[in-house]
Amino acid sequence: MSEETEPTVPLGPLDPGHDDPWYWDRFHSRVLAAAGPELARRRRLAEFTISDMVLSWGRLLVPGTLVAAAASAALLFFGVDADPELPLMDLEELLVWEAPEGGVPSALLTGEVADIEVFLVAVEGEY
C-alpha cells in the first residue's frame, strides 16, 4: 500500500519552495496584491445591472437617434427634388417593374468571365 502512495519520481526539487519554507506565503501575498485592482474592478461591475447598461446605451443612442430623425426630416421636407427618370415605387411595383431596354450591357450577359476593361466600359461608358 505504501508503494502506491509514494511517488516513483522525486518531485521535491521541482517545487520552487523546496529550500524556502516561506516561499508559498510570499507568492500568495504577491498574487493577491497584483490581482487586487482587477478584483476591485470586478466587484464594481457586479453592481452594474442590466438596467444600468441600457441606460448607459441610452445616453448615446437617444441623441444619435434624434440627430438621424432630424436629418431625415430635413431631407424629406427641404431635400432636392427626385430625379424624374427614377420614379418612386412601392416594393410590389418594383418587383414587377420591367427594366428599360439596354439596362444590362450584352457583354455582361454572355456568361463568360468579362475583362475588367470591358466591365468598366459597359458601366461607365467610353472614355
The model's pLDDT over 52-77, given as tens digits with 9 standing for 90+, comes to 888 888 888 888 899 999 998 888 88
The model's pLDDT over 12-50, given as tens digits with 9 standing for 90+, comes to 788 888 888 899 999 999 999 999 999 998 888 777 788
Most confident option among 2-16, 30-44, 100-114: 30-44
Distance separating the N- and C-terminal Cα atoms of the chain: 93
pLDDT grade for 82, boundaries at 50, 70 and 90: low
Q: Tell me the torsion sign for CA atoms 99, 103, 107, 111.
A: negative
